[in-house]
Amino acid sequence: MMQRMRLDKRLKEAHPALSWRQVREAIEKGQVSVDGRVQRDTGLDVFSSAAISLDLNRPAQLKVRASFDILHEDEHIIVLNKPAGLLSIPSSPGLGGTEDTVLKRVREYMAFKRGHKTYVGMLHRLDRDTSGSLAVALSKDAHAAGRDLFKHHKFERHYLALVQGIPDPPSGTIEARISTGYRSGRRKLVDDEDEGLEASTDYLVRERLKGAALLELRLHTGRQHQIRLHLEQLGHPLIGERVYAAARAVRGDKPLGLSSRVSAQRNMLHAWTLSFPHPLLDARISVDAPLPSDFEQLLARLRPSRSR
C-alpha cells in the first residue's frame, strides 16, 4: 500500500534548505505542483509516488479558499464537513445554478483550483439540517466506482444524535422497512408485507443527559430519512425534529421528559465519522468531522450539573 504524507512535509523533505514559512508560502502562492497540477493546500494528502515540483520563479497566484471545511482531498475525492442548513444537491434540476448547494460550492472550488471545468459528482447525500462528513467525487471514474461501493454498503458511517428521552435498553439495532416513495416531503415505515426497502440502524447511548441522550448511530443501509424514522420508531425522536413529530402527537404519545424550554432550530444530527475504500487507489479514506457549535452548546446545556 502506498504511503501518504502532507504536501508541506513532502516539500520540506525534498527542500530542507527552505524554512517552514517558505514552504507554506510557496504552496499558497501556487508555486508547487503535484503530478503536473498546481496545488495550494498545505495539508493535502499526497502519495509517495506523486511527483512534486517547486518553481519559486512562478508568479504568485491568489490562494484558493474553499467555502467549506475540507476533511480529505486528493485528485479523485474530496470529503468536506457540511454545515447544517446547506443542501447537498439542488432541490430541483432547474435550480442548479442558483441554489447554494454542496455540489455548486465544490464545482466552484475545483474550477478555481484546477483552472478548467471539472467533473463533480455526489457519492452520497445528507439532509439539509444534518451536518458532518460528506464525500464528493472529482472524476467520472471515481464517481462510478464510488457509487458502486456505496450501493454495496462499503461506506462505514457513524452519526451522533441528541434525542428526546433515554433509550432502554441502552444499545440495540432498529430494523424497520422504509417506503420507496414519499409524500409531502415525508417517507414512512411500512409493514413487512408492504412494498418497501430494508433498513437497519445500530444505536448506542454514549451519554445520559437531562431528559435526553447522546446517541452514536451506525447505518447498515442508506435510506433517505432512515435515522429520523428509526428514532421515531424507537420512541426517541431527534431533538429539533419537526417533519415527523406530528405522528407522535396523533398517537398521543406521552412526553419523554425533555424540558419544553429545550429546543433546537434543526434536527440535532451530525455525520461524525466516514470511512470507505478509495474508489480508484489502493488506500482507505477515514475522517472525523468536528461537532458544530450549535450541537456542542445544546449538549453542554443538557449535561447534568455536577455538585462540587
Cα(159)–Cα(134) distance, rounded to whole angstroms? 12
User: Which residues have C-beta within 8 Å of that of residue 52, sequence separation ≥ 6?
Assistant: 7, 10, 11, 14, 32, 33, 34, 46
Peptide bond before residue 169 is cis, with ω within 30 degrees of 0:
yes
The pLDDT confidence band at residue 27, using thresholds 50, 70 and 90, is confident
User: Which residues have C-beta within 8 Å of that of residue 147, sequence separation ≥ 6?
Assistant: 121, 123
Catalytic residue status for 127: yes
More confidently predicted of 58 and 52: 52
Domain 156-271+298-302 has CATH 3.50.50.60: no
Using the CB atoms, write b or e for 19-32: b if 16+ within 10 Å: eeeebbebbbbbbb
Taking residues 260-288, report their average pLDDT: 90
Domain ranges of the chain: 1-62, 156-271+298-302
State yes or no: pLDDT of 151 exceeds 50: yes
The pLDDT of residue 297 is: 94
Q: 53-62, 102-111, 186-195 — which is least confidently predicted?
A: 186-195
More confidently predicted of 60 and 104: 104
Q: Note the pLDDT tens digit of each residue in 172-191.
A: 999 988 888 767 667 787 87
Taking residues 252-280, report their average pLDDT: 79
Rounded to the nearest angstrom, the gap between the alpha carbon of residue 283 and the centroid of all alpha carbons in its chain is 19
CATH (one of 3.40.50.1000, 3.10.290.10, 3.40.50.720, 3.40.50.2020) for 1-62: 3.10.290.10
Residue given cell 461537532 in the structure block: 291
Whole-number average pLDDT of the chain: 86
Going by their DSSP bridges, the two strands 4-6 and 171-175 should be labelled as unpaired
Catalytic residue among 74, 127, 191, 202: 127
Q: First-to-last CA distance in the chain?
A: 52
For residue 20, CA distances in Å to 8, 10, 15, 204 come to 8, 11, 10, 44
Going by their DSSP bridges, the two strands 37-38 and 269-277 should be labelled as unpaired
Amino acid at 299: L
Cα(70)–Cα(283) distance, rounded to whole angstroms? 18
